[in-house]
Structure 1
């Protein structure tokens, strides 16, 4: 599933294509994705100008001049592609996945200037809905999210406060979207390795120097991944079809049996399962 850096990469690709443009028409080619589309979905979008495209955690937020926001989630396999005046930016080849099949173009946005944006989702695990922008703080999903991992509210002091007394493993805690928004399995594994913190460590033992180190490394991993365009593992590509390249810098993720890259460490990468998710780590230097 795309994590924060991948969704941010998609957002940046959509901004020049849609931001400031009026949506002329929307083709909805099936009644639902993960959930049914909102009532009169296409009609509520037609004629509306996209004032801004934001991101919160793993969600895309299309701000409309009607006072509504369209929230979009890519799910497991959702992709946007952009066509401008006949030139199509199609998703390219992926590491483990075939190019997008047009039969899975479930939503097509037609905007001013000959812009056509297609949402393709073979597994249909993504979703789109509309809500009043003014109600964002109380939105059932957005209202419960923690701070962004590269925002000003996320710090060692914040981690120390929110993790105090928690008995869950730190890996599990960092995947809790109410603690920090947008982190997923890839970047949590990478940040914990950089910090030298075992994924098994009890969260309550993190406050202090470990929390400061972890907050710094989480921020660095996210910023570096955004700059690299995210990670392409299965279904992710940006809106122009380009692959993310952060996977070439993975230290531990999906590197079972590889030598630990920490200077001076003689361990190798191991794998365990926590809360149903694979965790890659080095038991020699992560304590």
Structure 2
């Protein structure tokens, strides 16, 4: 599933092509995404100029004068800016046709993505209203994690993947950040000291920033706006490397199911 770095990479790729353009129409070849795309959305966006594009958690926000489009890429979605006359493929479900002859095209083979309309303020939309802070924001730090963790018995990996605690730290980047911080993914969050949370918050920021710089992580479906894969997969230390030597100590990387997700860790470096 595209995580925060992949969504941020997509945003940076498409924003220069959409900002300031006018949406002529919405073309929906398949409305049956995770939630049905309502036909009323077509009229809501037609003729609207794109004021800005931004990201909140794993959602792309396209700001128009009358409201905001909220786009989620789901498990397999990707975005391309193409000439509007480009023949669509079998999984090219949605186009936003622009006034320069191009379109923003959503490709989503599994159809777990979604497209929503939100009147202002978009922050009040149910998908966004209860989200935690952005991990790359100044307000996210070890002290915040320490406060939020008190009394929690959930595994720390589950804790940092909770979007009510902090947004955008998905399975790949949680495993990588915990390895860099030297924290075992199954350790109860409420039993971790402030100093270790400070290391973890710094590791989350480092891992996410590095992944964004590399265009995200391509393990199967994700591609950038220009069609290139994300290259952070080459820098993964533990994720998907079961049995391979830990880059820190050489011990074989192990896998464990935590919160219904595969978690990768070093049994020596992470305590």
TM tier relative to shorter chain: over 0.9
Alpha-carbon RMSD across the aligned residues, in angstroms, is 1.5
Residue 82 (structure 2) pairs with residue 83 (structure 1): yes
> Is 1:85–1:113's contact at 8 Å kept on the other side of the alignment?
no
From 122, 127, 130, the equivalent of 1:141 is: 127
Residue 119 (structure 2) pairs with residue 132 (structure 1): yes
Could you tell me how far apart the structure 2 residues matched to 1:137 and 1:163 are? 25
Residue 169 of structure 1 deviates from its aligned partner by 0.5
The match for 1:112 is 99
Residue 133 of structure 1 deviates from its aligned partner by 2.4
Could you tell me how far apart the structure 1 residues matched to 2:259 and 2:209 are? 26
Matches within 5 A, 1:231-270: 231-262=217-248, 265-270=249-254
Q: TM-score, normalised by structure 1?
A: 0.91
Could you tell me how far apart the structure 2 residues matched to 1:206 and 1:154 are? 17
Residue 161 (structure 2) pairs with residue 162 (structure 1): no
Residue 42 of structure 1 deviates from its aligned partner by 1.1
> Is 1:185–1:279's contact at 8 Å kept on the other side of the alignment?
yes
Could you tell me how far apart the structure 1 residues matched to 2:145 and 2:31 are? 42
Could you tell me how far apart the structure 2 residues matched to 1:233 and 1:257 are? 18
Residue 170 (structure 2) pairs with residue 184 (structure 1): yes
Matches within 5 A, 1:20-99: 20-66=20-66, 68-84=67-83
Could you tell me how far apart the structure 2 residues matched to 1:285 and 1:54 are? 37
Residue 206 (structure 2) pairs with residue 207 (structure 1): no
The match for 1:283 is 267
Residue 74 of structure 1 deviates from its aligned partner by 0.3
Q: TM-score, normalised by structure 2?
A: 0.97
The match for 1:14 is 14
> Is 1:156–1:207's contact at 8 Å kept on the other side of the alignment?
no
Structure 1: state its 5+ residue gaps.
Answer: 91-100
Could you tell me how far apart the structure 1 residues matched to 2:157 and 2:196 are? 14
Structure 1 stretches of 4+ with a deviation exceeding 6 A read none
Residue 104 of structure 1 deviates from its aligned partner by 1.2
Could you tell me how far apart the structure 2 residues matched to 1:256 and 1:47 are? 51
Aligned residues: 271
Structure 2: state its 5+ residue gaps.
Answer: none
> Is 2:243–2:254's contact at 8 Å kept on the other side of the alignment?
yes
Could you tell me how far apart the structure 1 residues matched to 2:240 and 2:63 are? 37
Residue 108 of structure 1 deviates from its aligned partner by 1.1
